[in-house]
Amino acid sequence: MALTKTQLFEQGLKLVIEALRNIEKRADFHADIQLLRRIQQLKEPAKVQVSPASPESQRTTTISEPREKVEFDAPRRSPGDREQLEKLRLAIANCAKCPHLAASRHTVVFGTGNPEADLMFVGEAPGADEDMQGEPFVGRAGELLTKIIHTMGFRRSDVFIANVLKCRPDMPAGAPGNRPPTPEEMATCLPYLQRQIELIRPKVMVALGSVAMRGLFGKTEPMRLMRGKWHTFGSIPVMATYHPSYLLRNQAMSEKRRVWEDMLLVLERLEIPVSEKQRNYFLTR
């Protein structure tokens, strides 16, 4: 008995879904975020719509797309946002609102990544490496953040990374290390970050460290009390977690797991499939 076009389509679709599932289970599987979403969509059962009065040959099959949250589904960006973001970058490059920072910096660290990113990471301020290279999170803490981003299934170029403060906090000549920005410095620079967020319109943000939370929300609680919880900046959900530099100082598996649990919550909020392998990272055996 010959198969109908609908039956052939359904068989072909089942083969494609099974192939995608097998690929997703591979240990070396890496994919961009759109492919992961499409795999999740294909995993949803197909809804078959049948008209009672129609014969079998008239049956039609439609694929049901998962309904996204309303605030994510509406058009979020306009064609001019990229241009406005570039104008903002040029404006910040000449900023001298904090004369002591303008005098000591090598460069303004605007931010980097996808200007249409769904996920945005916010740190506190550039360090010495970032000040020299003009890009956030490029030192040891930046290397660790990049690993976290990759483990989540993103490339660094998929997300946007910025700081509350765009200039490195000045240090006495010859003094090692970095200092945290003052509340006054962060308050002066915060409108720049707010404008970045307005133009990028991420679905979710991650605040890296207690200083970033203080700059965004004015919160002064210890990070252990803020992490793992959702906060809201405007209408955007924000996950607070430890700064990567904290994990460099405290490399206990339990602390790594806490940060990773925060990232799992971020992936779930973005409605991105999480593999069993990802769920089990940094669990003690």
Single pTM value for the model: 0.73
Residue 107 lies in a domain: yes
**Dihedral (Cα; 244, 246, 252, 254), 10-degree rounding:** -70
The pLDDT tens digits of the residues spanning 86-138 come to 999 999 999 999 999 999 999 999 999 999 999 999 999 999 999 999 999 99
196-216 exposure pattern, b = at least 16 Cβ within 10 A, e = fewer:
bbebbbbbbbbbbbbbbbbbb
Model pLDDT, residue 174? 76
Do both 14 and 90 map to the same domain? no
CATH number at 261 reads 3.40.470.10
- In a domain, residue 183? The reply is yes
| Inside any domain, residue 285 | no
Average pLDDT, the chain: 82
**Residue 191 domain flag:** yes
What is the residue range of 42's domain? 7-22+31-47+56-66
Q: Higher model confidence: residue 68 or residue 204?
A: 204
Can you tell me the distance from the alpha carbon of 69 to that of 67, in angstroms, rounded to the nearest whole number?
7
Query: Does residue 225 lie in a domain region?
Result: yes
Q: Which residues make Cβ contacts (< 8 Å) with residue 227, sequence separation at least 6?
A: 240, 241, 242, 258, 259, 262
Sequential DSSP letters for 69-89: PHHHHS----TTHHHHHHHHH
Number of domains present in the structure of the chain? 2
Q: What is the predicted pLDDT for the residue at 30? A: 44
Same domain assignment for residues 98 and 37: no
Question: Has residue 262 been placed in a domain?
Answer: yes
- 284 lies in a domain? no
* Residues 61 and 114 grouped into a single domain: no
Shared-domain flag, residues 12 and 113: no
pLDDT one-digit tens code per residue, 11-62: 665 655 565 455 554 444 444 444 444 444 444 443 333 333 333 333 332 2
Q: What is the pLDDT of residues 68-94, one digit of tens each?
A: 333 333 345 676 789 999 999 999 999
Work out the pLDDT band at 10, boundaries 50, 70, 90: low
